[in-house]
Amino acid sequence: MAAAAVTAGKAGQLSRFNIASLALGLAFLYLPIVILVIYSFNASRLVTVWGGWSLKWYRELFNDAAMIEAAWMSFRVAATSATIATMLGTLAAVALSRGDGFKGRTLFSGMLYAPLVMPEVITGLSLLLLFVALNAERGFWTVSIAHTTLTMCFVAVVVQSRLASIDRSLEEAAMDLGCDPPRAFLAVTLPLIVPAIVAGWMLAFTLSLDDLVIASFTTGPGSTTLPIRIYSEVRLGVKPEINAICTLVIALIAVLIIVASLAAKVSSAKGESAAPL
Amino acid sequence: MSARAIFTRPARLAAIVPYLWMVLFFLVPFGFVMKISLSQTAIAQPPYTPAFDLTAGLAAIGDALAALSLDNFRLLISDDLYLLSYLRSLFVAVVSTGILLLIGYPIAYGMARLPRRWQGIAMMLVIVPFWTSFLIRIYAWINILQHDGLLNRVLLALHLVSQPVVWLSTESAMYLGIIYSYLPFMILPLYATLAKMDRALEEAAADLGASPFKVFWLVTFPLSLPGVAAGVLLCFIPIVGEFVIPDLLAGSNALMIGQTLWLEFFTNKDWPVASAAAVFLLVLLLIPLLVYDRLQRRQFEEVK
């Protein structure tokens, strides 16, 4: 039905159809989240009955030791895996965009793109079987490694698209002026891709914080992550306390996104804009 | 040697660590999946006593069959449970990807038509929910769809229904959840192609007398096909293996393959059958995965 959009004719003009589809689309995306957040401040125990504003469920949340512990575990896993993934993903992006054709490049890029769409049940199961075969104790590190494997691919894509937009003659000029390649990279390329690296880290962090399936496969007894905990609670039904923890996670992610978009702004002030994805 | 060539070698060296990492933690694990999928049920069992419960009745029968035939793959083909969940996964993925395209296209088109400075903001607004937890977004819908949830209360207040409607644990709830979760994945690649498109082509077609529908169908849509392909693959492949959404929003009467695999693994502790299901799923997705890989690589080659 997008055909109707063309009726407006001239370039840059918005038809009513354009505006309506945009507004409806965004409302669809945001309304459920807004409702969730509002109900986390509901004083009533019944999730659907509005009993006035209250911070009751947040207080309750902070007394829930198991939930706090799961949140702390998730936070540590996310920070650890995002940091390793950012380093590995950046290296991979540099190799892919500056290494030209090298042996095994096709396999390399295939391995980096596949996890982006691979169903999580497959990734989770295969990593678990590896950890069992290696006789690794399952817990913090196995989940962190699994998340690193997934998220470094996202980092590689984000950084690679930034690298592709940088003029290679800048690096070449630096080397013509006497820099060796590592120096040219550190002095010229790295400062230009920092915003993409920051955005990549944020993305890796939130993806790790969000993951239920892979963590369920690769974790061991006693190391419950926040999504696993939320999932087992949700299966039992809606609770205002869950609304509260979800609101806190949304708030944390919102802060991260603002930081990431500020970083992107700095980068666009420097030159071309970096698309976060 | 040119400066570019000098830079190439250290850049290649940068591949070593991530390369080894991906081989060890992505490629090698598939070898283990293959191996376990071919082994007998009993071999992987020792640390786990099989725990059958009534809810897994059908799968338990499948388990007994596996022990008899000693062939997990034959089991997958012979047992209706698996075949049905494969077919159901494909069906659900096809239907929801189709709906996603129908909903996502007008939104992406609207975004591409916005004035430049608004486009960045609109893109941000679409990306933000993508960053917000999957699980939380599904939970948000459970809030709305439950028996005395907001939707039923609004419908009752408007006298559109006389009794609360059952929304949770239905097909429609599952499709709603899938479409809600994957919409950004469809919009973003579509928007990327539509924003790059030369508007003059549409204008030329319109000036030459094409009707708006013809302009769209003969000019806009064909030019946006790369974006359509990317969006469709980006949604289709993960939806086939989706676990969380059908598990929380659809009932447990008809399972998708992701759920079956999960059930085999966590409830029945049958690792070989779960592995065989994973291999089967992977084979099923091999062609779309290869096409997707191709698209991705071509995209980066073009940018360069």
Measured between beta carbons, which residues in chain A are less than 8 angstroms from residue B115?
A: 12
Q: What is the mean pLDDT of residues B29-51?
A: 62
Measured between beta carbons, which residues in chain A are less than 8 angstroms from residue B12?
A: 95, 99, 102
pLDDT at position B101 is: 95
Q: B274: nearest CA in chain A?
A: A125
Measured between beta carbons, which residues in chain B are less than 8 angstroms from residue A17?
A: 106, 110
Q: Tens digits of per-residue pLDDT, A145-183? A: 999 999 999 999 889 888 888 878 888 888 888 778 778
pLDDT at position B91 is: 93
For residue A238, pLDDT over 50 is answered with yes
For residue A274, pLDDT over 60 is answered with no
DSSP secondary structure string, chain B?
A: --HHHHHHHHHHHTTHHHHHHHIIIIIHHHHHHHHHHHS-GGGG-TT------GGGHHHHHHHHHHHHH--HHHHHHH-HHHHHHHHHHHHHHHHHHHHHHHHHHHHHHHHHHS-HHHHHHHHHHHHHHHHS-HHHHHHHHHHHHSTTSHHHHHHHHTTS-SS----TTSHHHHHHHHHHHHHHHHHHHHHHHHHHS-HHHHHHHHHTT--HHHHIIIIIHHHTHHHHHHHHHHHHHHHHT--HHHHHHS-SSS--HHHHHHIIIIIS--HHHHHHHHHHHHHHHHHHHHHHHHHHHHHHHHH-
Put simply, the answer to whether B110 touches A168 (Cβ < 8 Å) is: no
Among A226-240, B90-104, B109-123, B233-247, the range of highest mean pLDDT: B90-104
For residue A198, pLDDT over 70 is answered with yes
Q: Tens digits of per-residue pLDDT, B179-191? A: 999 999 899 899 9
Measured between beta carbons, which residues in chain A are less than 8 angstroms from residue B262?
A: 121
Which of A31, A41, A129 should be substituted to probe chain B, the one whose Cβ sees the most B Cβ atoms within 10 Å? A129
Q: Sorting pLDDT into bands at 50, 70 and 90, what band is A221?
A: confident
ipTM of the complex: 0.83
pLDDT at position B98 is: 96
CA distances from A113 to A121, A206, A214, B121 (A): 17, 19, 17, 27
Measured between beta carbons, which residues in chain A are less than 8 angstroms from residue B135?
A: 210, 212, 227, 230-231, 234
pLDDT at position A101 is: 74
pLDDT at position A257 is: 80
Under 8 Å between Cβ of B107 and A22: yes
For residue A142, pLDDT over 80 is answered with yes
pLDDT at position A186 is: 83
pLDDT at position A175 is: 80
Q: Percent of chain A having pLDDT more than 70? A: 89
- Candidate from A3-12, B104-113, B244-253 with smallest mean pLDDT: A3-12
For residue B68, pLDDT over 80 is answered with no
pLDDT at position B53 is: 39
Q: B241: nearest CA in chain A?
A: A119
| Minimum-distance CB partner of B107 among A4, A25, A118 | A25
Q: What is the mean pLDDT of residues A25-43?
A: 86
Count residue pairs from A and B with Cβ separation < 8 A.
324
Q: Tens digits of per-residue pLDDT, A74-94? A: 999 999 999 999 999 999 998
| Minimum-distance CB partner of B212 among A3, A119, A235 | A3
| Minimum-distance CB partner of B133 among A121, A209, A256 | A209
Q: B147: nearest CA in chain A?
A: A48
- Full-model pTM: 0.83
Q: Percent of chain A having pLDDT more than 90? A: 26
Q: How far is B36 from chain A (nearest CA, A)?
A: 8
- Residue environment code for B29-67, b if the CB has 16+ CB neighbours within 10 A, otherwise e: bbebbbebbebebeebeeeeeeeeeeebebbbebbebbe
Q: What is the identity of the amino acid at A110?
A: G
pLDDT at position B274 is: 85
Q: What is the mean pLDDT of residues A207-214?
A: 91
Q: Sorting pLDDT into bands at 50, 70 and 90, what band is B96?
A: very high
Q: Sorting pLDDT into bands at 50, 70 and 90, what band is B63?
A: low
Q: What is the mean pLDDT of residues B40-65?
A: 46
pLDDT at position B244 is: 87
Q: How far is A7 from chain B (nearest CA, A)?
A: 6
pLDDT at position B74 is: 67
- Alpha carbon distance B158, A5 (integer Å): 32
Q: A84: nearest CA in chain B?
A: B18
Put simply, the answer to whether B17 touches A91 (Cβ < 8 Å) is: yes
Q: How far is A95 from chain B (nearest CA, A)?
A: 5
For residue B294, pLDDT over 50 is answered with yes
For residue B5, pLDDT over 70 is answered with no
Q: How far is A2 from chain B (nearest CA, A)?
A: 5
| Minimum-distance CB partner of B22 among A25, A112, A277 | A112
Q: Sorting pLDDT into bands at 50, 70 and 90, what band is A71?
A: very high
Q: B153: nearest CA in chain A?
A: A48
For residue B225, pLDDT over 80 is answered with yes
Map tokens 């994805």 to a residue.
A277
Residue B219: partners with Cβ closer than 8 Å, 6 or more residues away: B201, B202, B205, B210
pLDDT at position B195 is: 87
Bigger pLDDT: A79 vs B152:
A79
Q: Percent of chain B having pLDDT more than 90? A: 17
- Alpha carbon distance B130, B125 (integer Å): 9
Q: B183: nearest CA in chain A?
A: A29
pLDDT at position A10 is: 45
Put simply, the answer to whether A33 touches B137 (Cβ < 8 Å) is: yes
Bigger pLDDT: B128 vs A88:
A88
Mean pLDDT, rounded, of chain B: 80
Measured between beta carbons, which residues in chain A are less than 8 angstroms from residue B141?
A: 32
Q: Sorting pLDDT into bands at 50, 70 and 90, what band is B296?
A: confident
Q: A209: nearest CA in chain B?
A: B133
Residue A137 carries which DSSP code? P
Phi-psi region of B303 (alpha: psi -120 to 50; beta: other; left: phi over 0): alpha
- Candidate from B41-50, B240-249, B289-298 with smallest mean pLDDT: B41-50
Put simply, the answer to whether B15 touches A99 (Cβ < 8 Å) is: yes
Q: Tens digits of per-residue pLDDT, A105-121? A: 888 888 888 888 888 89
CA distances from B69 to B36, B65, B74, B135, B264 (A): 16, 6, 8, 38, 17
